Amino acid sequence: MNAPEPGFSAPVHWHWREDATSRVPYRTYTDEALYKEELERIFYKGHWCYVGLAAEIPQAGDFKRTFIGERQVIMVRDNDGAINVVENHCAHRGVAFCQQNFGKAKEFVCPYHQWNYDLKGNLIGLPFRRGVRQDGKINGGMPADFKLEDHSLTKLKVAEKNGVVFASFDHEVEDFDSYLGEIRPWFERAFDGRGLTILGYSRQRIPGNWKLMQENIKDPYHPGLLHTWFITFGLWRADQRSQMVMDAHGRHAAMISRKNEGGAGEVTKGVTSFKADMALQDDRVLDVVPEAWWKGPSACMQTIFPSLIIQHNVNSISTRQIIPQGPDAFDFVWTHFGFEDDTPEMTRRRLRQANLFGPAGFVSADDGEVIELSQVGFNQHPDYQTITELGGREVGNTDHMVTETLIRGMYGYYRKVMGL
Ligand code: FES
Ligand code: FE2
């Protein structure tokens, strides 16, 4: 990480308290100028952003269009089998030439003036480069010193790690393993190099600031309170053996936990979302089968700052991509996947359990809704601050989930990067 540049010049009345990452000014979630600065300092510089799974583009020419921050990029497999990521932005006059989310191409041709690019993003030709012959003379053409190699698409730096693809506009970004830091063992627990299979996608637009999604998956306080499903059926609750882990910067985190059998107890007293008499007509969605790669914990929710969540909860696994859309909205794209050695029964189980998650998931619908409601509150009182003091004001790993330490960790890092 490069040294942070001088601070974003925020009006003094909403500066952060000197010592605090345990209070977050509401304007952090609403300010348009701050958001633009986040795009530059976080999404376009110094960080790796998720673009997809290699299994989404198995063959030469397969491509996927997606976003890093607000910029469109294309992840494409070339004829050498390598994965490239290029910006969807014609070098001629800027056209976002690719209009499909997925497809297959031999080359990319811009519709406007048909400049064409190979699958590595090199400009390989353009019409009328040497002019057009008419009445015995050559009209027009590009200047004699025009060189194709000076006009490639913007090529991003790419890291493929055990089937997961990240890219950065910043070619000086640190290498990917060191970027993951202390979170790497958890990343490699989910992605150990086994082949992946794509099971399906869900997409939603959530009307809240993108950081709220990072916070949501760094917040072990809420799952056993907000989510009826978790507390009632024992998938995630405050009385379970758990661990909160972050990298040395505090930007990435993992929340690790083990399910229990649910039912009433100390932890359900007075919790209105606990429904003692709730039972399922069809309980196959809770047909959980432990897998060897878990090495114990039934859930590990990872946040890879800034753009990715890796969800493992029982037999459901997915990547969730965060695509900011202004300060008060983001798109959230879920890719549900399995492993090549899954039996057909396991694939069906993963698909069934995917109903817990996604935009209308039995659990995750709750999160989309509270994020929207948080944003409503922030807009009402621009000068207020949130309080994230559960478990103290310090930042550090814990062996329990009654803490907001991971959120404090992220804002410590955020303040440094943003110069706030
Ligand atoms: Fe793409 Fe002209 S803008 S070829
Ligand atoms: Fe949640």
- Give 13-49 pLDDT, tens digit per residue: 566 776 678 899 999 999 999 999 999 999 999 999 9
Is the beta carbon of 90 within 6 A of some atom in ligand 1?
yes
DSSP 248: T
Q: Of 9-18, 298-307, 335-344, 385-394, which gets the smallest average pLDDT?
A: 9-18
Q: For residues 410 and 31, what is the distance between their CA atoms, to the nearest angstrom?
A: 19
Q: Verify whether ligand 1 is closer than 6 Å to residue 112 (CB atom).
A: yes
Of 18, 420, 85, 412, the C-alpha closest to 252 is 412
Task: Give yes or no: residues 320 and 410 share one domain.
Answer: yes
> Ligand 1 mean position to 111 CA, how many Å?
7
Return the ligand number nearest the Cα of 235: 2
Average pLDDT over residues 140-147: 95
Q: Ligand 1 center to residue 108 CA distance, Å?
A: 11
Cβ atoms within 10 Å, residue 353: 23
Q: Are 146 and 242 found together in one domain?
A: no
The protein residue with its alpha carbon nearest to ligand 1, atom 2, reads 113
Distance (Å, whole) CA 21 – CA 328 = 21
**pLDDT per position as a tens digit, 202-257:** 999 999 999 999 999 999 999 999 998 988 988 888 888 899 999 999 999 999 99
Confidence class of residue 402 from pLDDT cuts 50, 70 and 90? very high
- On whether residue 323 sits in a domain, the answer given is yes
> Would the CB of 137 count as within 6 Å of ligand 1?
no
CA of 75 to the centre of ligand 1 (A): 20
Mean pLDDT (whole number) for 138-150: 95
State the CATH number of the domain containing residue 108: 2.102.10.10
Give the pLDDT confidence score for residue 7 in this predicted structure. Answer: 56
Give residue 58's identity as a one-letter amino acid code: P
The protein residue with its alpha carbon nearest to ligand 1, atom 4, reads: 113
Cα separation, 251 vs 336, in Å, equals: 24
- Position 60 confidence tier, pLDDT thresholds 50, 70, 90: very high
* 249, 338: one domain: yes
Ligand 1 close to Cβ of residue 95 (< 6 A): yes
Per the structure, how many domains does the chain have?
A: 2
Does the beta carbon of 110 lie inside 6 Å of ligand 1?
A: yes
Buried b / exposed e along 44-63 (16+ C-beta atoms within 10 A): bbbbbbbbbbbbbbeebebb
Q: Give the pairing type, strands 164-168 and 157-161.
A: antiparallel
More confident residue, 326 or 20: 326
Distance from C-alpha of 183 to C-alpha of 252, rounded to nearest angstrom: 7
Q: What is the pLDDT of residue 10?
A: 55
pLDDT in tens, 295-324: 999 999 999 999 999 999 999 999 999 999
Structural domain including 304 reads 182-418
Question: What pLDDT does 1 receive?
Answer: 45
Cis peptide bond upstream of 58, omega within 30: no
- Residues 154 and 289 grouped into a single domain: no
Residue at 173 is within a domain: no
